[in-house]
Structure 1
Amino acid sequence: MSTVPQHRLLRTEIPGPRSRELHARKSAAVSAGVGTTLPVYIERAGGGVLVDVDGNQLIDFGSGIAVTSVGNAAPRVVDAVREQVADFTHTCFMVTPYEEYLAVCEALNELTPGTHEKRSALFNSGSEAVENAIKIARHATGRSAVIAFDHAYHGRTNLTMALTAKSMPYKHGFGPFAGDIYRMPMAYPYRWPTGPENCAEEAFAAFVEQVHAQVGESNVAAVIVEPIQGEGGFIVPAPGFLRAVADWCREHGIVFIADEIQSGFCRTGDWFASTHEGVVPDLITTAKGIAGGLPLAAVTGRADLMDAVHAGGLGGTYGGNPVACAAALAAIETMRADDLIGAAKRIESVMMSRLKELAATYDVIGDVRGRGAMIAVELVKGGGSKEPNAALTAAISAACHREGLVTLTAGTFGNVLRFLPPLVIGDDLLNEGLDILSAALEAATSKAAA
């Protein structure tokens, strides 16, 4: 259990005076290119609560963007990290290896979808994992073209920016980008022109036609897709679309890569979101929730693909750091012991019920979607219009912040509120956060109507 009291408490305005002092220091010391969603400076955290330097206790609906799924400062993670730090902090696995790296790879090979023989390699960040998955696919197939999708987000490095769909803020002014990347339509049910009932079939047909015409199947090394798109707005592809793409990849000798960096590790009510669609990826990328807040990422996949790369072709100085590996093993133990898959399903039940009630009241909520504790609402102009409403989204999120609820926005059009609470959050905090959201929605829509 967390030592942080599990209730909201506002001692000052948000942000408070001490946070404002620190934010002034940030402006003087940190690149302006590193933005901040909510400038409250945290000194402690646990469970579903963040405690800032002014003593305010905020409800956490962000989990550091799906990172602290087991809760901040989770006891097993803290104990494992302390023990490992006391033993050694680094040797570089490529120089003198250690058992912790092996144990994480063994766990990933067991937990990821599929019963085939697998191998894993560890890295530092989601972007690194994606880059290395592409390297592996290209090396193993001898092909170079890579297919990504509309609304995708895969990272901020040069190659992953090329894979990412949204320009501002991720790509604007940073080109030229890596080549031989092609973008195809995503099966986005809410915005599919002929309706959600036609989405999977028509999106897949468009995908096949465009790849054939623009790229050629024999030139494609990999198709990479998020089973639930993250920054794109928590888009859950129409049922059957992912399976059709994966089967098509297998037919043409193309590597199917599932980017589960945000959706993995119990977040969606299963170990991985691919499982909901009955999809077994050739390669799967993971990060975020893997290590309870410490930087770690991985590529896991078919042994023949992972072993195709020459010795020394994969790795990095810090990849699979022993402290991060110890944290990952403890986080996975926590997920199992505390049934965080069940916890994600409980969160889905509470959130979906409340959010659908709001959608029935406010026509500016165009869509409620997601799985497990990866839930979103898409906001529109209302009155029958699906025009994105980014201004309302920003206003609601800001109102939530002022009341001590940490919320995040997303979406290609900036009109999605996304919710990623820690899987250990209690129902009381969850419902209080939803009460705050409801009040913010009411206030923002009343103001807009005035």
Structure 2
Amino acid sequence: MTEIPQERRVVTAIPGPKSVELQARRLETVAAGVGSTLPVFTARAGGGIIEDVDGNRLIDLGSGIAVTSVGASAEAVVRRASAQLADFTHTCFMVTPYEGYVEVCEQLAELTPGDHAKKSALFNSGAEAVENAVKIARIHTKRTAVVVFDHGYHGRTNLTMALTAKNMPYKQGFGPFAPEVYRVPVAYGYRWPTGAENAGAEASAQAIDQINKQIGAENVAAIIIEPVLGEGGFIEPAKGFLPAIAQFAKDNGIVFVADEIQSGFCRTGQWFACEDEGIVPDLITTAKGIAGGLPLSAVTGRAEIMDSAHSGGLGGTYGGNPVACAGALGAIETMRELDLNGKARRIEEVMKGRLAEMQSKLDNGDIIGDIRGRGAMIAIELVKSGTKDPNPQAAADLAKACHAEGVLVLTCGTYGNVLRFLPPLVIGEDLLNEALDVIEQAFGRI
């Protein structure tokens, strides 16, 4: 495995001529609906660097949307996946099983919150995990309604589009959507009308009131929430909100599902973000960071709930593919050995400190309305000067300016006005600070 120099290098325009040529080929054969944040074509990636086909090296503050938390070519992931490739690529666990699948489920039982007996089922993508969590909750409770939250994102399949809050680009024109999905308020502190300090109590009361009045708690199979809302803008629900909703679910026999697909596996400085307020979910969905870049997802939960589905009711041809399972075991090994929870907490310390400095000292720093997030899941919400009006243009302009200087950043948010930072947890602190220098300079050009 070739080590990639951990240094930013811009030797052509971004994108460079080879990427431009590949983009022309792409436009001929790849469906237009498949977008890309930045059309530079990757040649190699590892640590905190993405090297493109033109020889540019970009500092990676995206991690493939929180997937390559251990880096895009982590030694343990490559070693274990390569060994598995040499043995066999697939048998289908539903035909002849293999140990790797069982080992991943054992690790999930150990790492996920709670000391109760747990079981897991493995799938390919986050959306599949969420969809199967709904199936499991429905068969367990013999109920049909599913409750989700404003600003939530849960996937792109028909059911998970219904669960997702944001219309464009995820839902526009793709309906009709799956029925029996209900949306209630979330404690979005920065935008809560009576202030962030009231958001937890007031939003949970409103949500519970709506569930009781509009659905009936006795009809709800599952309540699904991201403990830190991802695509919606890296929103941390105000303190007290999650415990109140989890307690309501427990009191009414509702399956409480923590969607940790973006926030899980050390991303927030804990193995799972729901640990922050001591939440023990009935079911937890994971994907993204689980397998170092290989396609794998899981539903893990209370054994009696997971066992509600009849034999053959859960599964899929590729679910828990042996190579992906090997990658997951390598990723978890890396997380443990390098203490990536500690690394994530240090990233938070560096990033929040630098971003707060920018907010206070830049002439246009007041467009940073909010700095939030935990661990290596940090965001700034951009607003029009002197207001809280969303400023999506500033987010787009900042991202463009960073990309031109070789720093890959992503935007998100219901209003498209959030710049989010998801560096690999193995990124060097020098690279992280260099990326923040570029971000600071970009503010001066918008």
Q: TM tier, shorter chain? A: over 0.9
What residue is the counterpart of 2:38 in the other structure?
A: 38
Alignment of 1:201-280 (within 5 A): 201-280=201-280
* Match for residue 364 of structure 1 among 367, 379, 390: 367
Distance in 1 of aligned mates of 2:164 and 2:322: 30
> How far 1:3 sits from its partner (Å)?
0.5
- Structure 1: 5+ residue runs without aligned partners? 445-450
Distance in 2 of aligned mates of 1:382 and 1:189: 19
Residue 376 of structure 2 corresponds to residue 373 of structure 1: yes
* Match for residue 388 of structure 2 among 364, 386, 389: 386
What residue is the counterpart of 1:426 in the other structure?
A: 428
The AA in structure 2 aligned to 1:137 is: A
Distance in 2 of aligned mates of 1:318 and 1:332: 21
Alignment of 1:252-401 (within 5 A): 252-361=252-361, 362-383=365-386, 385-401=387-403
SS in 2 for 1:50: strand
Per-residue CA distance 1:178-231 (angstroms, 9 max, x = gap): 000000001000000000011001001101111111100000000000000000
Distance in 1 of aligned mates of 2:312 and 2:109: 21
The AA in structure 1 aligned to 2:392 is: A
Per-residue CA distance 1:226-277 (angstroms, 9 max, x = gap): 0000000000000110011001100000000000000000000000000001
The AA in structure 2 aligned to 1:241 is: F
Per-residue CA distance 1:156-198 (angstroms, 9 max, x = gap): 0000000000000000000000000000001000000000011
SS in 2 for 1:443: coil
What residue is the counterpart of 2:65 in the other structure?
A: 65
What residue is the counterpart of 1:92 in the other structure?
A: 92
SS in 2 for 1:76: helix
The AA in structure 1 aligned to 2:152 is: A
Distance in 1 of aligned mates of 2:359 and 2:158: 39
The AA in structure 1 aligned to 2:383 is: V
> How far 1:441 sits from its partner (Å)?
1.0
Distance in 1 of aligned mates of 2:81 and 2:281: 31
SS in 2 for 1:186: coil
Q: Which runs of 4+ in 1 moved over 2 A?
A: none
Per-residue CA distance 1:17-45 (angstroms, 9 max, x = gap): 00000001111010000001100000101
The AA in structure 2 aligned to 1:184 is: V
SS in 2 for 1:387: coil
> How far 1:2 sits from its partner (Å)?
7.1
> How far 1:443 sits from its partner (Å)?
1.1
Distance in 2 of aligned mates of 1:107 and 1:143: 30
Distance in 2 of aligned mates of 1:156 and 1:97: 29
The AA in structure 1 aligned to 2:259 is: D
What residue is the counterpart of 2:418 in the other structure?
A: 416
Q: Does structure 2 conserve the Cα–Cα contact (< 8 Å) formed by 1:2 and 1:46?
A: no
Distance in 1 of aligned mates of 2:325 and 2:2: 22
The AA in structure 2 aligned to 1:387 is: D
> How far 1:382 sits from its partner (Å)?
1.6
Per-residue CA distance 1:382-408 (angstroms, 9 max, x = gap): 21x100000111000000000000000
What residue is the counterpart of 1:447 in the other structure?
A: none
The AA in structure 1 aligned to 2:379 is: A
> Structure 1 residues 2, 271: CA separation in 2 closer, same or farther (over 3 Å shift)?
farther
The AA in structure 2 aligned to 1:429 is: L
Distance in 2 of aligned mates of 1:208 and 1:103: 39
Distance in 1 of aligned mates of 2:429 and 2:153: 31
> How far 1:114 sits from its partner (Å)?
0.3
Alignment of 1:429-440 (within 5 A): 429-440=431-442
The AA in structure 2 aligned to 1:358 is: M
What residue is the counterpart of 2:179 in the other structure?
A: 179
- Structure 2: 5+ residue runs without aligned partners? none
SS in 2 for 1:316: coil
Distance in 2 of aligned mates of 1:85 and 1:434: 39
Q: Does structure 2 conserve the Cα–Cα contact (< 8 Å) formed by 1:69 and 1:267?
A: yes
SS in 2 for 1:198: helix
Q: Does structure 2 conserve the Cα–Cα contact (< 8 Å) formed by 1:2 and 1:75?
A: no
> How far 1:360 sits from its partner (Å)?
1.9
Q: Does structure 2 conserve the Cα–Cα contact (< 8 Å) formed by 1:2 and 1:47?
A: no
Aligned residue pair count: 443
SS in 1 for 2:121: strand
> How far 1:439 sits from its partner (Å)?
0.6
What residue is the counterpart of 1:50 in the other structure?
A: 50
Distance in 1 of aligned mates of 2:443 and 2:128: 38
The AA in structure 1 aligned to 2:105 is: C
What is the TM-score normalised by the length of structure 1?
A: 0.98
